[in-house]
């Protein structure tokens, strides 16, 4: 957008703002085209309340205080937030967000079309379920699926989804509100809400495509602008909006003080900003329950929790309840394998890599065809090579593994997916399939460029926890597919760039808790009992989470609980540490379930 365009846009905003402040607001619906007074729109997660249509601030305050449980109502276009909040200072707060506007009279669609996915309107009940899944992954308020479906033909609500063209998976979603159809808005405005992209999505520019499609939808309807509200510190989102031509405008948002909004009005979360996501999810849950949190070493994830005279130190999900013996068992993959095998858990064939001169590695490779090379000690997927099929690659992989640990293990390779089961207090709380990072060719950029781009996106989606290293293992995977790092990948070609599915090396995580086979659950619990560890991440290789086939890979004494949302991993961890912090009603319900299960 040019400087002149920005000037014209701002001048237009000022003229429209003046008209908006001066228009008459009759009571009730107005079929003659005049605006409806005291307007609001039910969005499923709460009400969008158009504050500029309220003449009486007291009435607007009462409307805000009618918010239902587990809902997030939003008063938008508040002209004088200080006046509104003064009517109910204990109930209302000024949302720390900015309002941005896209002038649809000068907006021009992009000539570039999405690659690998398409944007369309909500079309089925399964779309509604997928939208909720993405909302949960982003800690957003979910919506009754029936609301989506019953309002799919709404005149004023529009839901768009981004669908993977190859798999049909829903990758992202956005909601639009047509103000003219909602309340005869004289400004012919519209607004964008709930833009959310699956954090595991591989395709680039999904958010941009959803925003553009919604803008073009409202532009075709004759809307004059599209507004949105974005948190003041959401730098990536703000950068996207400004690149698309949005400019900041002086409107404010007010919300109610409730549990959902707590961090926005207490500011308490700032104390924990130095924690990584794995520690942060736990301390946030503890603070929500009134458990005292003492920060010991935030960069390393150490903290102390105190409640009712009981004090426990933790490093992320590793607590003092885990013994040093259990931790040392998990630390040595060879010991772990022998213990769980003794408990009846299926394990792969394994050997210790010695000197290559004795030919044992070559014989093992010849017997199994494909092997896994990994250090006996290590974490976060460092030094692991999967699917090694030649002795040249085996030698390279063994040398890389020895950089992590002198002892290197060789295992038979089980073809399938990596399944992580989080076991807390000997109960499976979450299960997720982990998949290696995959790049998709566009016929223009090299494999190296695509990997670097995907790595930046994975890092942004995980708070810096996930990156794809451009190391020998990545190069080996690219070469195995018949390409070099600097080759241009043909359009539509998908290339797996790591053998492992570890999150820290770019892997993605897909929740399967609701469909995981009972034998996999039983095997995970048997493994944790063999180690005698209260909190553990058990890794299997599987053919399908709905089938019983598996082999044990390893046990992690400090599983990343933040990787498994929307499953209640942090809640169950804090339950384990401080059972008396569980509300009495929840404790009684849990006891009833356990009694029935005996």
pLDDT of residue 201: 85
pLDDT digits (tens, 9 = 90+) for 314-344: 999 999 999 999 999 998 888 999 999 999 9
Sequence spans of domains, the chain: 267-317+577-597, 437-498
Q: If DSSP codes are grouped into helix, strand and coil, which group holds residue 373?
A: strand
d(CA 565, CA 222): 39
d(CA 17, CA 225): 12
- Tell me the mean pLDDT in the region 505-533: 94
- Are 414 and 400 a contacting pair, CB within 8 Å? no
pLDDT of residue 25: 34
Mean pLDDT, all residues of the chain: 87
pLDDT digits (tens, 9 = 90+) for 474-510: 888 888 888 999 999 988 888 888 877 777 888 888 8
What the block records as the tokens of 355 is 């000197």
pLDDT of residue 589: 60
Q: Taking the chain, what is the end-to-end CA distance rounded to the nearest angstrom? A: 67
Instruction: Name the residue among 53, 333, 340, 104 with its Cα closest to residue 215.
Output: 104
- Tell me the mean pLDDT in the region 106-133: 91
Q: Please, which pLDDT band fits residue 11 given cuts at 50, 70 and 90?
A: low
pLDDT of residue 17: 45
- Tell me the mean pLDDT in the region 533-559: 94
Q: What is the pTM of this model?
A: 0.68
pLDDT digits (tens, 9 = 90+) for 411-444: 888 888 889 999 999 999 999 998 888 888 888 8
d(CA 452, CA 471): 12
- Tell me the mean pLDDT in the region 55-73: 91
Q: What is the CA radius of gyration of the chain?
A: 27
pLDDT of residue 27: 31
d(CA 241, CA 249): 13
pLDDT of residue 19: 44
Q: Which strands make up the sheet holding 252-256, listed edge to edge?
A: 40-42, 47-50, 74-78, 252-256, 92-94
Residue 358's Cβ-side half-sphere holds a number of Cα atoms within 13 Å equal to: 7
Mode of pairing for the β-strands spanning 292-297 and 302-307: antiparallel
What the block records as the tokens of 334 is 């060879």
pLDDT of residue 414: 83
Q: Please, which pLDDT band fits residue 23 given cuts at 50, 70 and 90?
A: very low
Q: Please, which pLDDT band fits residue 253 given cuts at 50, 70 and 90?
A: very high
Asked which of 82-86, 108-112, 120-124, 299-303 is least confident by mean pLDDT, the reply is 108-112
Residue 312's Cβ-side half-sphere holds a number of Cα atoms within 13 Å equal to: 23
pLDDT of residue 358: 63
pLDDT of residue 34: 63
Q: Please, which pLDDT band fits residue 232 given cuts at 50, 70 and 90?
A: very high
């Amino acid at each position: 957008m040019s400087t002149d365009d920005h000037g014209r846009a701002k001048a237009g905003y000022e003229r429209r703002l003046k008209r908006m402040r001066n228009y008459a607001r009759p009571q009730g619906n107005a079929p003659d085209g005049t605006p409806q007074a005291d307007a609001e729109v039910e969005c499923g997660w709460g009400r969008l309340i158009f504050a500029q249509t309220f003449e009486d601030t007291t009435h607007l305050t009462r409307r805000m205080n009618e918010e239902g449980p587990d809902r997030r109502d939003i008063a938008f276009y508040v002209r004088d937030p200080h006046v509104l909040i003064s009517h109910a200072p204990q109930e209302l707060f000024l949302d720390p967000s900015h309002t941005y506007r896209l002038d649809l009279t000068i907006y021009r669609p992009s000539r570039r079309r999405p690659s690998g996915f398409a944007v369309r309107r909500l079309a089925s009940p399964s779309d509604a379920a997928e939208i909720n899944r993405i909302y949960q992954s982003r800690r957003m308020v979910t919506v009754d699926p029936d609301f989506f479906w019953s309002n799919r033909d709404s005149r004023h609500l529009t839901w768009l989804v981004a669908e993977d063209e190859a798999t049909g998976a829903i990758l992202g979603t956005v909601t639009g509100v047509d103000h003219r159809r909602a309340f005869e808005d004289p400004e012919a405005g519209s607004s964008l809400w709930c833009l959310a992209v699956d954090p595991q999505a591989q395709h680039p520019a999904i958010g941009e495509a959803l925003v553009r499609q919604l803008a073009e939808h409202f532009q075709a309807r004759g809307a004059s602008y599209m507004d949105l509200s974005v948190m003041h510190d959401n730098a990536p989102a703000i950068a996207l909006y400004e690149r698309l031509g949005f400019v900041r405008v002086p409107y404010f948002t007010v919300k109610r003080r409730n549990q959902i909004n707590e961090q926005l009005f207490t500011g308490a979360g700032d104390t924990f900003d130095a924690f990584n996501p794995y520690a942060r999810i736990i301390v946030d849950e503890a603070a929500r329950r009134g458990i005292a949190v003492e920060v010991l070493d935030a960069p390393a994830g150490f903290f102390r929790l105190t409640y009712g005279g009981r004090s426990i130190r933790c490093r992320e999900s590793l607590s003092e309840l885990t013994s040093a013996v259990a931790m040392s068992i998990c630390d040595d993959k060879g010991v772990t394998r022998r213990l769980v095998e003794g408990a009846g858990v299926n394990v792969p064939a394994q050997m210790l890599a010695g000197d290559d001169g004795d030919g044992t590695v070559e014989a093992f490779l010849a017997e199994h065809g494909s092997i896994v090379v990994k250090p006996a000690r290590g974490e976060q997927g460092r030094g692991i090579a999967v699917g090694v099929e030649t002795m040249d690659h085996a030698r390279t992989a063994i040398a890389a593994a020895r950089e992590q640990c002198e002892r290197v293990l060789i295992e038979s390779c089980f073809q399938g997916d990596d399944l992580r089961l989080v076991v807390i207090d000997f109960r499976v709380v979450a299960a997720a399939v982990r998949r290696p990072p995959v790049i998709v060719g566009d016929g223009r950029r090299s494999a190296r460029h695509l990997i670097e781009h995907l790595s930046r996106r994975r890092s942004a989606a995980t708070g810096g926890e996930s990156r794809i290293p451009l190391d020998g293992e990545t190069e080996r995977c690219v070469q195995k597919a018949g390409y070099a790092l600097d080759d241009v990948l043909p359009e539509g070609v998908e290339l797996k760039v790591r053998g492992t599915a570890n999150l820290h090396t770019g892997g993605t995580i897909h929740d399967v808790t609701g469909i995981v086979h009972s034998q996999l659950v039983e095997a995970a619990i048997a493994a944790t009992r063999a180690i005698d560890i209260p909190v553990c991440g058990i890794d299997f290789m599987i053919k399908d989470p709905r089938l019983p086939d598996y082999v044990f890979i390893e046990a992690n004494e400090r599983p990343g609980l933040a990787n498994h949302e929307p499953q209640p991993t942090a809640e169950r961890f804090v339950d384990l540490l401080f059972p008396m912090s569980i509300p009495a009603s929840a404790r009684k319900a849990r006891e009833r379930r356990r009694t029935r299960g005996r």
